Every structure is written in C-alpha cells, then in structure tokens.
Amino acid sequence: MNRRKGFTLIELLVVIAIIAILIALLVPAVQKVREAAARTQCTNNIKQIGLGLHGYYDAYKRFPPGSQVPYAQVNDDSNLDYGLPFGPNWAVLTLPYLDQVPLYEIANPYSYPGIAPVPHVSSITNVAQLAAVNTSWQKIRATVLPVFLCPSDTYNQVPFNNPNVYSDPAAPVGWARGNYGVTAGFNDYDHQNGGTTISSTVAGHASTISSPMFASNYGATMAQVTDGVSNTIMIAELRAGISPLDNRGVWALGFSGSSIVNAGRQAYNPTPNNMLGDNGSDGDEIQSCDQIWVSNIGSFYGMGCINEQGPINCSGMSRSMHPGGVMICMGDGSARMLYNTVSEYTWCLMVSKADGQVLPADAY
C-alpha cells in the first residue's frame, strides 16, 4: 500500500511553535525601530520649531509672547480664563518662520487689538472692551500641522472641542492638537504675566527664582537669558489630551498644558512624565479634571490631574509617549531627550532663564 506523505500533528505543532517564537522575538525589534523613527521625527520637529522661534527673534529682537491675553495681570486668575476672548499664541505668531506664510496671512494676527510683537495691554474691565477684542485669528485653529505633531502620540488625532472655550463666531469647530510647548518657568502661569519672576516653593530651594522664557504677553530677549541659552529649555514636549474635553496639547491655544509648559514647583507636578493623579488630589496640573478623571489616569494613562473643577489649567508638565523621557529644545536651538530621572530641582532650574544657579549633572 502507498502511504500519503505529509506532516504529522506533532510536527505541525512544532512548526507553529517555532513561528510563534520567531514572531515574539521580531515584534519588539519592530517596535524599537518604529520608536526610533518616531523619536527622530520628533527631534526634527522640535528643532524646526526652535529655528522658527529664532527666525521670529531675528525679526523682532525678542521671542514671541507665550500667549496674548489683553486683560492679564500678575496673580490674576483671569489670565487663565478661556471663557473670555484672548489673542494668538507663540505658535500662530511663528507660522511665517515655519513655512506657513499663507496660513499666517489667513489668521491675520495683527487684527487682534493692541497687537505688537510683544504687547503689554492694560486690564480690560467692562463688556464693551471685551466685545472689541478681535478673535478672528481663530479661523485657522482646526488646521492640522505635521510640524506640531509627535508621531508617537496617537491621541493627537482627536481635536479639542470644549464648548466653554471662547470661540470666534466664524471659527471652525474644534482645535487641532499639537505636542510642543514653550516653557514659562515653573510657577503657575497667572503668577508670571509679563515675564514677572517669582521665588520658588520647591522644598529646600525657596531662594530659587522662576524666571520664564515665555509668559502671557511676554517673550524674553537674549540679554535676559543670563543663565545661558544652552542651559535653558525653550521648548518641551506635551501630550495631547485623552478626551476631547482635555485641553492639553492644542497648538494654537495659548494656555498651560495646551502650548505652554510651566510646572515643577509642587509635589503634585514635580517632573516630566510623572505617574501621579490616581487618587484625584495629587496629579499633574489640570483642575477641570472632573470631566475626564478616572482612578488610573496617572498610573495607566500617564496623564495625571487633580479631580476638581476649575476654569483652566494652572500649569502644564512636559509629557511624551517616548519611553524614558521627553524631547526638549534649548534656547540655542539644540534638541535632545531629557530623561524622566531628572530631579525636580534640576527641572525647575532648566526652565528658568535667570536663576543664577549651576545645573546639576542630571541635566545632561
């Protein structure tokens, strides 16, 4: 009798097992290659944005304001109220230096009242003055710009769409996401309007000064960066919010966590990519977290926030989807990764332009 040739069941199972082992070995390698490519793209993005900021500096002899708020005053919560009209941020003002001249012309940021490269506008106190604020620049807010997107962050594909944000009647629905923010020291954003310096509240370092590179209605000059531009972080990564109501990571929105990085002064926002937030009273920064808070928002999502109601974030810590750290761009335009192991004290010194301290070894 002729016997049919073929695999036995045991042989087939052995082959399947070998294939499974090979796949298990291959997948991590593929993921590492993908992450390496994403990190390279992210580095290129942040370098390009740094060059754009320097292009703005060459034109105006100072950096653009972090954001423009016509009624902002030091230690005034109105600086953080996105229910009131506000002007374009640093990212909008830098568009011509990022090969986005047509988009800049559509926004026409100089239609914003009292506009100047770095405006210092007195407080607005009545409804008539608020109504006079021109917010037509928001017509570009839904435009997706690849230079502002880190390829490792999958959440940046979902637009921010919170009805509590002041919207120009002609603006499209939603705000496009972004993953990069300029640094505004390490104190709450409303404390440093106009570039005001403020003493640290970091435990054991009360004499350290938070001196922002960017702030509401303020962009620094090179002469003001007395710590040295190569020692001061100018841009750092931000993660896009995990919900359409989470305003973190929004390129055209000039508020903390959206396109502004300013945190590190308290135990609830000590360092980049911290995993705090699960109990609802520690967490990173965002106060209006009651809309999105879940019990594992820090340890699982890595997007800790305080489970309270509030008008907007007081501060925004640097976060990324890259394993081990966040991408940063120094004031001289150099870009690299800063590791999660950086201490709170070192982080605070690195986002302060004129504290007069020498950077510790973990800054490098």
pLDDT reported for residue 121: 47
Q: Domain segments of the chain: what residues?
A: 10-363
Under a CB-based contact definition with an 8 Å cutoff, are residues 234 and 331 in contact? yes
Which helix H or strand E contains 214, and what residues bound it? strand 214-215
How far CA 325 is from CA of 35, 212, 263, 339, in Å, comes to 13, 22, 16, 4
Tokens of 93: 């003002």
Would strands 180-183 and 260-261 be described as parallel, antiparallel, or unpaired? parallel
Cα–Cα dist 186/306, whole Å = 18
Would strands 198-199 and 209-210 be described as parallel, antiparallel, or unpaired? antiparallel
Cα–Cα dist 268/340, whole Å = 15
pLDDT reported for residue 119: 41
Under a CB-based contact definition with an 8 Å cutoff, are residues 246 and 256 in contact? no
Count of helix runs (H) and strand runs (E) in the chain: 5, 9
Enumerate residues 6+ apart whose C-beta is below 8 A from 239.
153, 155, 179, 248, 249, 302, 303, 319, 320, 321
The candidate with the shortest Cα–Cα distance to 239, out of 323, 162, 181, 163, is: 181
- Which residue type does 214 have? F
Residues in the chain predicted with pLDDT less than 50, given as ranges, are 114-121
pLDDT reported for residue 62: 96
Residues found in the chain:
364
Tokens of 269: 């926002």
pLDDT reported for residue 1: 53
pLDDT reported for residue 202: 64
